[in-house]
Amino acid sequence: PIDLGAARLITPRLARMHCCLPIHSDPGQLVVAMANPLDLIALEDIELATGLRVDPVVCTASEVERATDRAYGKGVGTS
């Protein structure tokens, strides 16, 4: 399940650019579903945007895209 409050911690543009979606947050930590959890640039971008330590979890790109459409709206943040 996606915590929409966590999803809103990053912009739709950032989520789509890195094929990732925050799914849960705890104090100081953000769990992020990612197609490539080893993408150090994405991890750094998310940490800089949120000020939280990122705990990446692997997810298929298609699952992330569908969840991103549900969380932000289809097509939001694509330009």
Rounded mean pLDDT, 8-18: 96
Average of per-residue pLDDT across 21-46: 96
Nearby residues of 27 by Cβ (< 8 Å), 6 or more positions away: none
Neighbours of 40 (CB within 10 A): 8
Q: Cα(61)–Cα(53) distance, rounded to whole angstroms?
A: 22
Please report the pLDDT score of residue 1 as a whole number.
Answer: 79
In this prediction, residue 74 carries a pLDDT of: 83
The pTM of this model reads: 0.89
For residue 59, the model assigns a pLDDT of: 95
Is the pLDDT at 76 greater than 90, yes or no?
A: no
pLDDT at 39: 97
